[in-house]
Amino acid sequence: MNKFFLDLGKQPLANNYSSSYKKNQIKYSLKLFFNTKNKMVSISKRIPSEKMFTNNYPYRSSMSKTMTNSFHKLSLEIKKRFKPKKILEIGSNDGALIKNFEKDKVIGVEPCNNLAQITSGKGYLTYNKYWNYNLAQKLKKKHGELDLIYSANTLTHISNLNDVFKSISYLLSTNGILIIEDPSLLECVKKVSYDQFYNEHIYLFSVISVTNFIKKFDLEIFDIKNLETHGGSIRYYIKSVKNKKVKVSNKVKNQFQKEKEFGLDKFNTYKKFAKKVKLSKKKLLNIFNKLKLKNKNVIGYGATAKAVTIINYCKIENDLIKNFVDTTPEKINQYMPGKNIKIIKYKKNSLDNVDYAFLGAWNFKKEIVSKEKKFLKKGGKFIIHVPFPKII
Ligand code: DWN
């Protein structure tokens, strides 16, 4: 049974930036639910993938050093620990992971044409397709069973999770390994980072819910890694239950227990979370309104999908945040979805006349703070809303 716990209002497509402000942009309801049976947290309204992951998708994994470093580190681990003959990446984006492998060793799957072109242009075999059973069949015919499948921040974006895991277990060899990573529900609830929810993030995984969900495909988690990326993520190492060669690490049991102790398997935890979210909105608006009264120059730093949830849920207009700065070419001179707030190109002097910068990309706080020493030195301040709204 799916139980409702939070309404984040009407939200535009999170990555639907446009060259002019569209007052009547289509918005969809964003409501959060908890499944009492498999303990999965998800959003209710499902938008067709074709509407969200278009041929002009603006998010690029390679835009941050944090992510490229994380992918490089993982590639070294994959080579050393699993020694796969071939790797398939579902949601290969602009190639931030696959560029670390030899061209004949990796296959990318990327539905957004603009991104698939980047990797195929560099000579990486890339299927410009959505991940589903049809594609898995096609791949098996062409490449045979695969011994390593990887996917970061992608499976949680696909509504039909049954089809996702059915296709993966069909294509994976008996001793094959599936590695996935996605934002951690535990970290999200702890940090009150409700901006992890937007129309693309259909699910937020936990070790509890993934364990429950993949059972029916004869899959099990045998190892996990807590990552700092994207505000706290979990990397899940998954295998077939028939593969007895690989032992299940105690880390899996420990994380499961940690999530249980926190109450991720209880509806009441989400009701409390919803209350904290409402309080967070109040406090954040309070900060912005006070700065407005003092005539401070406030901008947004990082025009993230997460920030789209915040500004639309909190009804933040351009009197509170003048504009956003961002490094992504596809986002520059566009407007934040749902709001009359323009995104301008980040330059070294972008913060020269700024008093406060709201961290839309709070998940890259470390990287940004170390880059903006000059801003902080001259008295500039960041506004962050996790774990509660404050000025830092
Ligand atoms: O799952 C998803 C995650 C992985 O990426 C997607 N559905 C959409 C996207 O979500 P997001 O937009 O919230 O992701 P990021 O990675 O938090 O976006 C960071 C943004 O901030 C990018 O637009 C680049 C920008 N940025 C910047 O302008 N200067 C980032 C850094 C570190 C910087 O120094």
By most ligand atoms within 8 Å of CB, the mutation choice from 154, 227, 327 for ligand 1 is: 327
Question: Is residue 230 lining ligand 1, measured as CB closer than 6 Å?
Answer: yes
- Beta sheet of 381-384, edge-to-edge order: 342-345, 323-326, 298-301, 356-359, 381-384, 390-391
List C-alpha distances in Å: 150 to 4, 86, 109, 267: 32, 11, 10, 31
Give the 3-state secondary structure of residue 114.
helix
Q: Can you identify the CATH homologous superfamily of domain 34-267?
A: Vaccinia Virus protein VP39 (3.40.50.150)
pTM: 0.96
φ, ψ of residue 231 to 5 degrees: the values are 80, 15
- Cα angle vertex 28, ends 23, 32, to 5°? 140
368 pLDDT more than 90: yes
Q: Which of 336, 314, 311 is nearest to 22 (CA)?
A: 336
Q: Percent of the chain at pLDDT above 70?
A: 100
Asked if residue 58 has its Cβ within 6 Å of ligand 1, the reply is: no
Domain extents in the chain: 34-267
**Residue with CA at minimum distance from ligand 1 atom 18:** 304
Q: What is the pLDDT of residues 17-43, one digit of tens each?
A: 999 998 899 999 999 999 999 999 999
* Averaged pLDDT score across all residues of the chain: 97
Q: Which residue type, as a one-letter code, is found at position 350?
A: S
Q: Which of 305, 338, 304 is nearest to 22 (CA)?
A: 338
Q: Is the CB of 240 under 6 A from ligand 1?
A: no
308 Cβ partners below 8 Å, 6+ apart?
Answer: 11, 12, 14, 15, 198, 336, 337, 338
How many angstroms separate the alpha carbon of residue 387 from the centre of ligand 1?
19
Residue/partner pairs of 275-282 with CB below 8 Å, 24 or more apart: 276/192, 277/6, 277/8, 277/192, 277/194, 280/192, 280/194, 280/385, 280/388, 280/389, 281/313, 281/314
pLDDT for 312 equals: 98
Answer positive or negative: Cα dihedral of 205, 208, 209, 211.
Answer: positive
DSSP summary character for residue 111: S
Q: What is the DSSP letter of 200?
A: T
Closest-lying ligand 1 atom to the alpha carbon of residue 65: 32
User: Is residue 286 very low, low, confident or very high in pLDDT (cuts 50, 70, 90)?
Assistant: very high
All residues at 6 or more sequence positions from 39 whose CB lies less than 8 Å from its CB, including other chains: 206, 208, 209, 212, 264, 265
For residue 205, pLDDT over 90 is answered with: yes
Mean pLDDT for 122-141 is 98
Instruction: For residue 152, give the ligand 1 atom closest to its CA.
Output: 4
Span 346-353, average pLDDT: 96
For the chain, the distance separating the N- and C-terminal CA atoms, rounded to the nearest angstrom, is: 41
Mean pLDDT of 314-331: 97
Residue 356 has pLDDT above 90, yes or no: yes
Q: pLDDT tens across 216-273, in order? A: 999 999 999 999 999 999 999 999 999 999 999 999 999 999 999 999 999 999 999 9
Does residue 340 carry a pLDDT above 90? yes
- Whether the pLDDT of residue 64 is over 90: the answer is no
Share of the chain above pLDDT 90, in %: 98
Flag the least confident range among 56-70, 112-126, 261-275, 378-392: 56-70
Pairing label, strands 125-127, 172-183? unpaired
Tell me what pLDDT residue 63 has: 85
SS3 187: helix
Task: Using only the alpha carbons of the chain, give its radius of gyration.
Answer: 21
